[in-house]
A and B are shown apart, each in its own frame.
Chain A
């Protein structure tokens, strides 16, 4: 994953993805392990969210997926009653990279993920709305 590749993605999707959010990648990745472990017990709307995440992950290359999995797809450790992931410092030492390079790589991959997620959110939008148990009104305000 390099910088020009990201710029290319950005140019391609500037018009098509109105729902693009730069932090959506990291936000969804944080739920990876939870979804994987409890796949049999997910509720209907969570299944759609899992579909969005995993189909976005499927678009990545295998090497990149393994890189993200070492950060996000691991069981939590509990420190002082708070569940924590492995830190960037530990993982950078494992991979033999410097801390700043590791961080930059991770942030670029998460950014790339959020483009894919924006795509799949549009694709699964209707399915998500149908899966909700309760919806308030028709989403419009006013009686006009």
Chain B
């Protein structure tokens, strides 16, 4: 299949075609990757919606106003922390489901800065 003509040096014209063997494989890989990503995100959304249903109407309204409509409101810490924990739990569950990252890292940021730095290197596996 002829897509374009290219010039090499003086007056040498070459017709270049579409390489099916190369391009199609890459394209199909891309599609599969995207499909998988969509699946994962749909699953996350489902779990998150389930969590929202379990809240009281007041808490749900607060979250909707703050994060969907972007209104400036005083933060309610109890709702925020519970939401954060739930999100982390969902992420962990998804990771275990798909085998992305079976070993969660454990690192405590509070404490002595100097000891923390050495510990951080250990956790990352640099040292």
Contacts and interface: CB of A to CB of B under 8 A. Distances in A.
Interface of A: 36-37, 39-42, 44, 47, 50-51, 54-55, 57-58, 62, 65, 69, 73, 133-134, 136-138, 142-144
A49 B111 CA distance: 24
B103 to A, nearest CB: 11
Contacts of B121: 54-55, 58
Contacts of A37: 109
Q: B interface, how many residues as a size bin?
A: 20 to 34
Contacts of B100: 44
B119 to A, nearest CB: 10
A39 B113 CA distance: 14
A51 B109 contact: no
Given A40-B107, A133-B37, A143-B18, A58 B113 contact: no
Given A36-B109, A44-B101, A134 B26 contact: no
A73 B113 contact: yes
Given A73-B113, A134-B33, A41 B88 contact: yes
Contacts of B125: 51
Interface in B63-86: none
Interface of B: 3, 16-19, 22-23, 26, 30, 33-34, 37, 88, 91, 100-101, 104-107, 109, 113-114, 116-117, 120-121, 123-127
B37 A54 contact: no
B3 A143 contact: yes
A39 B122 CA distance: 12
Contacts of B123: 39
A interface, by DSSP: helix, strand, loop or mixed? helix
Contacts of B91: 41
Contact of B19 (A36, A50, A69, A143): A143
Nearest to A144: B16
B126 A51 contact: yes
A30 B120 CA distance: 17
Given A39-B105, A69-B113, A143 B30 contact: no
A40 B120 contact: no
A52 B28 CA distance: 33
A64 to B, nearest CB: 13
Nearest to B105: A40
A54 B120 CA distance: 8
Nearest to A40: B105
A136 B29 CA distance: 10
A36 B3 CA distance: 51
